[in-house]
Amino acid sequence: MKPDIHPKYFPDAKVICSCGDTFTTGATQQELKIEICSTCHPFFTGEQRIVDTEGRVERLRRRYNLNS
């Protein structure tokens, strides 16, 4: 194996979510910024949020007459 080809491993990397939650994990970067974590993900929170970009969800509902 070639020497010095692996990235440096940080066993206590800080993870920062856009919701404000922070936790530590092992990673190859010292600090990670993420958009969704287990605190704010709809699967874990039980609330359903649909991220609608450019009205696509609304257009699909109108096209197929879905009322939800």
How high is the pLDDT of residue 23?
A: 95
What pLDDT, on the 0 to 100 scale, is given for residue 11? 96
Fold of the domain built from segment(s) 10-64: Rhinovirus 14, subunit 4 (4.10.80)
Segments of the chain scoring below 50 in pLDDT: none
For position 51, what pLDDT does the model report? 61
User: One-letter amino acid identity for 64?
Assistant: Y
Query: Which pLDDT value is given to residue 53?
Result: 63
Residue 23's identity, in one-letter code, is F
Q: What does the alpha-carbon distance between residue 22 and residue 38 come to, in Å, rounded to a whole number?
A: 11
pTM for the structure as a whole: 0.58
Which pair of tokens denotes residue 28? 């190859």
Looking at residue 47, its pLDDT comes to 73
Domain assignments of the chain as residue spans, ordered by start: 10-64
3's tokens? 């020497």
